[in-house]
Amino acid sequence: MKISDKKYLLSKKLDGFFISMTKAYRFVIQYFKQALKPPFHFSEVINQCFEIGLRALPLITLTGFIIGIVFTKQSRPSLEDFGATSWLPSLIGIAIVKAMGPLVTALICAGKVGSGIGAELGSMKVTEQIDAMEVSAINPFKYLVVTRVTAAMITIPILSFYCIVVGLLGSFLNVHSEEASSFHTFITNSFSSIHFIDFFTSVIKSIVFGFTIGIVGTYKGFYATQGTRGVGKAANQAVVVAMFLIFMEEMLIVQIANWIRYL
């Protein structure tokens, strides 16, 4: 071992990694402790819900609608090869409700909302506004972190449901243009193969994704350093880390849902 490495327990990178994991763990535990204690700042939670919804709504509308059309167009030729075109609405319903709706919403919110939260709190941190709140006898963690994470957990499931509706609408327009089927028939066939566990899994995924986006964005912003450069770094890391965790959680929740389904 080099003399310069003796001050580290393992190595500089490994020690930094474990320290960061410990800080993140304490940050999450502190959120649950503070979220259950008054005051609850309901007005700020509602304000953050509107902020999150307005940031992501236009992009989710456009993306969900296009995904519904594109996925339907791509699926039709494959089903036609097997003479199973009648199963197209069911396939679209399963894909959008179970996977694409919550996942697409979470990824869009990670880019729009997560980066915004990271940059906002990061700028407050480097300009010492958070320290000023402590001097003013305001709990900055509760007012800035708890409200934003809670708002993300409330808003993202709503946006996910909206994305599912818009995606199914885009799919229906494509199916209707090809087959002139009615909206009632399309919706009935779309939900014929979807069960309660599928809806429940989608809701749970959306809540978990919302918590992940909120907690990662606030954590990166709350511990931002290095001045204005740190603000951009916090926003970038909030997006990258949140997206990585969303994919990991998607895989884990789907696996757990499959275990429950076959019990």
pLDDT digits (tens, 9 = 90+) for 123-179: 888 888 888 887 777 888 999 999 999 999 999 999 999 999 999 999 999 888 887
Q: Using omega within 30 degrees of 0 as the cis cutoff, is the peptide bond preceding 58 cis? A: no
Q: How far is CA 27 from CA 33, 44, 46, in A?
A: 10, 20, 23
> What is the DSSP-derived secondary structure letter of residue 61?
H
H or E stretch covering 183: helix 183-190
Which pTM value belongs to this model? Answer: 0.89
pLDDT digits (tens, 9 = 90+) for 101-126: 999 999 999 988 999 999 988 888 88
